[in-house]
Amino acid sequence: MTAAIRRPSGAATAPPGPDDACAGPVTGSSTGPSIGAFGASGRAVDVRGLTKRYGRRIAVDGLDITIPTGVVAGFVGPNGAGKTTTLRMLLGLVRPSGGDGTVLGQPLRAPAAYLPQVGALIESPALYPALSGRRNLTALAVLAGIPRALVGARVTAILDQVGLAGRGDDRFRSYSLGMKQRLAIGAALLTDPDLLVLDEPTNGLDPIGIRQMRELIRSLTARSAPVDGTESAAGSARPRPRGRTVLVSSHLLAEVEQICDWLIVVEGGRLAYQGPTDRLMASHTVDVVLRPELAQDVAALADLLTGLGRPAVRGAQDVVTTLDVAERDSREYARALAEVNRAAASRGITLIEMSPRRDSLEDRYQGLVTAARAGSVPAGTSTVDTSTVQEARR
């Protein structure tokens, strides 16, 4: 599915039913978010209380989402957490049961106002198997309203951007899964959207394909030139925002950690965390692995750390201690390591390794999901101040 670009006939997924058709105002809060204007707030998405009910089942439960402009935002959560339903509401494919806010500065209740500036890949690529990549993009560019005189140059530029310049004239059915995903992203980029939404773009890819997709996604926040140098892809002049925003839903947490500046974690349709990825990964304590040159010194090293008032977890060849410091690169951390090293040397213990053991995003994610299921989701995640938005852009 590609927002703002009509699908080829017969290639679409089943349309939403009459109860889900996005028409008319959204029920819920009568007041919008505290900061609404796209240009003034620097927020590509700013919605409050987003809710979707299917009968008695609540798929999304009062979700607050704020995404700064110009970032790659990761959207993660267990299966059934409400991720795809949320994306469909943002894209106007499903009508919210409640909530309000803005997308690209336009009301959530009026998706037709912002969808021309949104590109999306939801589920599998919907393209003609018998046509080449170039002809697929050409047909979609014409349907999107790009002036015919500009279509050829735009399609060529997109094929180069997604790494398919050498395969543009091959039929879509001959592409690998990774190539199909990249061409579908290229289709979503045809109109140079301000917001790009990707649902599981690495699903089913091999390690090489995942790496290529990671590099492509990281490059997408850069603003490409309008197709004619002065106007938008549709041929109408409009102000350019501060960079493209990319929203990526994924189950591959290691990839999310590498490519995403901003993170949204949901569980059971509710918000578990929202903010810079680095902030989630930050900790006031650092676990450090200490390995002595001689395995026979492990016990003595553990006793030494205990005598210094530091925790010590013995392994077969090393000891893990915890340093209570604000961050791994701080002076306090360096001083603490120096103190341990001097004390070990004074006892005749030579340390051949002193390395921090950092929690992965998977570790932090599991903690958030566990806390959410226990009903103890951290407070304060629904309000994002300007400094936090600026922090995510850096």
Q: What is the C-alpha separation between 280 and 263, in angstroms, rounded?
A: 8
Rounded Cα distance, 369 and 342, in Å: 41
255 in Cβ contact with 210 (< 8 Å): yes
pLDDT at 134: 97
Q: Which range has the worst mean pLDDT, 64-73, 232-241, 296-305?
A: 232-241
Higher pLDDT pick, 334 / 383: 334
User: Has residue 44 got a pLDDT over 60?
Assistant: yes
- Angstrom CA distances, 71 to 24, 37, 129, 162, 248, stand at 31, 18, 33, 19, 11
With the C-alpha atoms ordered 235, 238, 239, 244, is the resulting torsion angle positive or negative? negative
Q: What is the pLDDT of residue 283?
A: 59
pLDDT averaged over every residue in the chain: 79
- pLDDT for the residue 328: 58
Q: Quick count: other Cβ atoms within 10 Å of Cβ 379?
A: 7
Binning pLDDT at 50, 70 and 90, where does residue 36 land?
very low
**What integer pLDDT is reported at residue 88 of this predicted model?**
93
Mean pLDDT of 55-61: 93
The domains located in the chain, with CATH, are 38-279 (3.40.50.300), 284-357 (3.30.70.270)
DSSP secondary structure string for all residues of 100-169: EEEETTEETT-GGGTGGGEEEE-SS----TTSBHHHHHHHHHHHTT--HHHHHHHHHHHHHHTT-TTTTT
* Residue type at position 88: R
DSSP sequence for 285-329 = EEEEEEEESSGGGHHHHHHHHHHTT---EE-SS-EEEEEE-S-TT
Question: Distance between CA 251 and CA 78 in Å, rounded?
Answer: 8
> Which of 59-63, 279-283, 344-348 is least confident?
279-283
How confident is residue 126, by pLDDT bands cut at 50, 70 and 90? confident
What is the share, in percent, of the chain residues with pLDDT greater than 90? 51
Q: Residue 329 has what pLDDT?
A: 60
Q: How many CB atoms lie within 10 A of CB 55?
A: 6
Digit-coded pLDDT (tens) for 142-201: 999 999 999 999 999 999 999 999 999 999 999 999 999 999 999 999 999 999 999 988
Note the pLDDT of residue 4.
Answer: 40
Q: What is the pLDDT of residue 222?
A: 66
First vs last Cα of the chain: how many Å apart?
31
Contact yes or no for 181/121 (Cβ under 8 A): yes
Tens of pLDDT, residue by residue over 109-124, are 999 999 999 999 987 7
Question: Per-residue pLDDT for 30 more than 60?
Answer: no
Separation of CA 197 from chain center: 9
Q: How confident is the model at residue 234 (pLDDT cuts 50, 70, 90)?
A: very low
Burial label for 374, CB within 10 Å (0-12, 13-18, 19+), is: exposed
Give 203-223 pLDDT, tens digit per residue.
888 888 888 898 999 888 865
Predicted confidence at residue 277, as pLDDT, reads: 85
How does pLDDT run across 295-349, given as a tens digit for each residue?
A: 999 999 999 999 988 889 999 999 999 887 655 566 887 888 899 999 999 999 9
> What percent of the chain lies above the pLDDT cut of 70?
74
Contact call for residues 216 and 159 (beta carbons, < 8 A): no
At 116 the pLDDT is: 93
SS3 31: coil
Structure tokens, 176: 């690998």
Range picked from 15-24, 60-69, 78-87, 267-276 for highest mean pLDDT: 60-69
Confidence of residue 38 (pLDDT cuts 50, 70, 90): very low
The CA-based dihedral angle spanning residues 162, 165, 166, 169, taken in that order and rounded to the nearest 10 degrees: 110
Mean pLDDT, residues 246-250 taken together: 93
Yes or no: say if 394 and 243 are a contact pair by the CB < 8 Å rule.
Answer: no
pLDDT above 90 (res 72): yes
